[in-house]
Structure 1
């Protein structure tokens, strides 16, 4: 007897597949339920108005659709080419972006053009928009603030000895064609950390102790010392006056500044040659370390979104990528609270 084919066919198969995805808990559905993407799109259109073409032509995709695509691109660390492919291939992506029944899907050029059009101002509008929605849901900054920085790797550049000499003199090598110049990152820098060399950029953050949301950010090159961003990432809205940081931040001037501005310094002490830390200071450092380590959870979450690696060339695009990195971390963090039923109080 011939066996029946185990595969069943149905014209409504896609609908059944989506129902199964929902039963398996689609993480994108959780994100969609906790963030008002229409409001984020309105913020971007206000900061970076949509261009009006006098020549007519095909109308652009809605800003909300493109914002959702940028969020997917950052969360899953996709290139523009992979973003185009996944939008064509994955039902959950198409549903999240409102393209489930659309014939035309934004291609790689459309994604690249939109990202470059809104630039840093657009990325900041997304970060600030997510932050404002956190506050509306009651997640105000509480418990004190933790300040730290993380290195963000960029594609390493190789230069000849002659090219390095010309670049030191702020001159572009004459033999570089425009196409080659666009592929050379002249902004990223080298730095050393724990005896290892790193190339790329730096993201300094301020995270609230209670909810572990990133409240303030500053972007820079890798060689910039962490402490130079300290005052710029202070969050005046935090309800607690404690400020936690590691041994890279202490100085007499900073301690005086914190005291003058009504903050309580919880910065770890640093020992010096012939003047080691006392047992009391070591105990204090240990207590602070337990709290300060909470910021590492945020950096680990960013690592899971794509190893914190950026594929862009230049400071401007790196700033965009790092700002989106912080915004998407907050977005995923809010979705976690939504999924677990934890409410702000």
Structure 2
């Protein structure tokens, strides 16, 4: 039996649980560990003549915590030393070596090199579908801007060439866009694409469909998507532009249209929930890396994790696990 450090022993004896501890305890239960480990294991370094690699599950847990708490590689290393609950989640102890920032970086790059972000999302969604949590009868589509540093005060003296500027309302933004297709019934993300921020939302609409839906809900930014779609017989519920409805003469027809628009908006509102989880719960409001590829890898993982977070109560109910009390 491994000897516990004084800090770990002191942590184990405390009675109250923090919100972070409750969060990690819940995610420990709902993440399909075997599925994800089987995905990564074939490309994970094997023990050889050099330094023995950390167990794959340890590194995967560290990688997930990086995404949940918005930590850089150096900050993640420090957190493992300083925060006992994170150390415990990763099955680490201060009595043994803690993965350093280079080891943490190399694991992230491994996932990027083999482009496993998309497969992580696919396998999580397959797991949720088998649990009956993703029905795929309809899709909601939407996009959000992820800001990127606009400063040129860097080694290259230039902004990221793969990020672009766009105007939304009366404000200008520089960065990229995350486009998502969301299951109407569950509110879970089934498809993710990314582009520079200046790409029109309507151009990505076709790529956000999984092919089995019968109806698509979208805001006015997707006007015309139905005309450009290769799918026939698909019911496109696209919001009318407010100005066009407002300009209509008062009467029965306008009231009927306003009622229909209100219904579409009430259904479409659920598409915002994954964005809220990623941006508010996980704190992802600005790109961390340069270029679309690396940021796309992280975004795919974040939406896979947001699906598990949003479905956690139903998943915990299936396992009979009671939600831990928060301090």
| TM-score where L is the length of structure 1 | 0.79
1:22–1:339 CA distance, 2 compared to 1 (3 A): farther
1:118–1:272 CA distance, 2 compared to 1 (3 A): same
Deviation at 1:11, TM superposition (A): 9.3
CA contact (8 A) 1:155 1:311 kept: no
1:94-129 deviation digits (Å, cap 9, x = unpaired): 122121466111111111121112206122222122
- Bigger Cα displacement from structure 2, 188-197 vs 281-290: 281-290
Which residue of 196, 203, 212 maps to 2:178? 203
Q: Please state if 1:99 is matched with 2:76.
A: no
- SS of the residue corresponding to residue 288 of structure 2 reads coil
1:128-185 deviation digits (Å, cap 9, x = unpaired): 22112112222123452110001111122327xxxxxxxxxxxxxxxxxxx9249852
Deviation at 1:275, TM superposition (A): 10
Deviation at 1:216, TM superposition (A): 0.6
CA contact (8 A) 1:247 1:267 kept: yes
1:109-120 superposed matches below 5 A: 109-119=102-112
1:250 maps to 223
The CA RMSD over aligned residues, in Å, is 3.1
CA contact (8 A) 1:30 1:338 kept: no
1:167 maps to none
Which residue of 333, 336, 345 maps to 2:310? 333
Tell me, which stretches of 5 or more residues in structure 1 are unaligned? Answer: 1-8, 160-178
Which residue of 104, 118, 127 maps to 1:124? 118
Q: Please state if 1:153 is matched with 2:125.
A: no
Which residue of 203, 209, 222 maps to 1:228? 203
1:270–1:22 CA distance, 2 compared to 1 (3 A): closer
Taking the aligned partners of 2:199 and 2:310, their CA distance within structure 1 comes to: 28
Number of residue pairs aligned between Structure 1 and Structure 2: 308
1:330–1:24 CA distance, 2 compared to 1 (3 A): closer
- SS of the residue corresponding to residue 311 of structure 2 reads helix
1:126-275 superposed matches below 5 A: 126-142=120-136, 144-158=138-152, 180-181=155-156, 185-238=160-213, 241-251=214-224, 254-255=226-227, 257=229, 260-270=231-241
Which residue of 268, 277, 297 maps to 2:273? 297
- SS of the residue corresponding to residue 215 of structure 1 reads strand
1:51-66 superposed matches below 5 A: 51=45, 56-66=49-59
Taking the aligned partners of 1:130 and 1:88, their CA distance within structure 2 comes to: 30
Tell me, which stretches of 5 or more residues in structure 2 are unaligned? Answer: 1-5, 321-327
1:4 maps to none
1:283–1:211 CA distance, 2 compared to 1 (3 A): same
Taking the aligned partners of 1:23 and 1:199, their CA distance within structure 2 comes to: 34
2:11 maps to 14
- SS of the residue corresponding to residue 311 of structure 1 reads coil
CA contact (8 A) 1:87 1:93 kept: yes
Q: Between Structure 1 and Structure 2, whose CA radius of gyration is higher? A: 1
1:24–1:96 CA distance, 2 compared to 1 (3 A): closer
Deviation at 1:212, TM superposition (A): 1.0
Deviation at 1:291, TM superposition (A): 1.0
